[in-house]
Amino acid sequence: MTHTRYCPNCDDEFRPDIVLCSDCGGELEDRYDEEKGGERRDGETGEPEPAAPPEEYRPVFGCMESATLKEAAGLLTAAKVPFRATGCSTGFQLLVREADQSAAATALQGREGVLAVPDDAEPTVGAEGGACPACGAAVPAAALECPECGLVVGGEE
C-alpha cells in the first residue's frame, strides 16, 4: 500500500514526511493508494469533498536571502497576519490576503528586502522622502534610489 499526503484545499500531493501545504499552509491529510485496495486513514472510501476556492494572496515582501525571508515571516507571525511564502531562483516572496496588506506593510516596515505596496497606497518613499524600506536609511524627496543600499524607491527625476 503506497502512502502519500495531500492538501484537502489544493488537492496537491506531497511526500509522507511533509506536514503543511507549501501553497496554502493547510495541514496535509494521509492518502493511501486505493488502486491496490488501500483505504484512507480517516476511513472514507470516496473522493474528498470539493474545497472552497482558496483566497487570493498578493505579494507584500520580496528578498533574495532565505534568512531575511524567515525574519520577515516571523514578524508577520508575531503580528498575527496569515501569509504564504514562495521561492525560486529569482528570490523569495511573502504573500498576504488583500485585507491584510496594510497590517503586513506595518509589520514589515524598515526590514531588509523589498516591500510591495498596492497601487492605491500612499506615495512612495522616493516621491516624498522618508526611511528606505530595505535598510532604513534616510531617503530625500524625489530620489530615484536609496543613497545607502541602492534600492529603487520610485521617485520622479
Taking each helix axis from N to C end, the angle separating 66-78 and 101-108, rounded to the nearest 10 degrees, works out to: 120
Instruction: Say whether both 99 and 63 belong to one domain.
Output: yes
Query: Which of 6-10, 36-40, 64-68, 116-120 bottoms out in mean pLDDT, i.e. has the lowest?
Result: 36-40
Instruction: Say whether both 99 and 149 belong to one domain.
Output: no
Instruction: Say whether both 48 and 63 belong to one domain.
Output: no
Instruction: Say whether both 2 and 45 belong to one domain.
Output: yes
Residue 46: pLDDT band (50, 70, 90) is low
Residue 28 CB: number of other CB atoms within 10 A?
22
Which residue range(s) make up the domain with 134?
122-157
Considering 35, 52, 69, which residue would you say is the last residue of a domain? 52
Instruction: Say whether both 99 and 131 belong to one domain.
Output: no
Convert the pLDDT of each residue in 76-101 to its tens digit: 999 999 988 887 777 888 888 888 88
> Please, what is the Cα angle at 76 between 155 and 94, to 5 degrees?
60
Instruction: Say whether both 154 and 101 belong to one domain.
Output: no
> pTM (2 decimals)?
0.43
Residue 1: pLDDT band (50, 70, 90) is low
Instruction: Say whether both 74 and 114 belong to one domain.
Output: yes
Residue 81 CB: number of other CB atoms within 10 A?
23
C-alpha to C-alpha distance for 77 and 66, rounded to whole angstroms? 16
The dihedrals phi and psi of 63, each to the nearest 5 degrees, come to -160, 170
Report how many domains make up the chain: 3
Convert the pLDDT of each residue in 18-45 to its tens digit: 778 877 778 888 877 654 444 445 555 5
Instruction: Say whether both 63 and 116 belong to one domain.
Output: yes
Predicted pLDDT at 18: 79
Residue with more model confidence, 65 or 49: 65
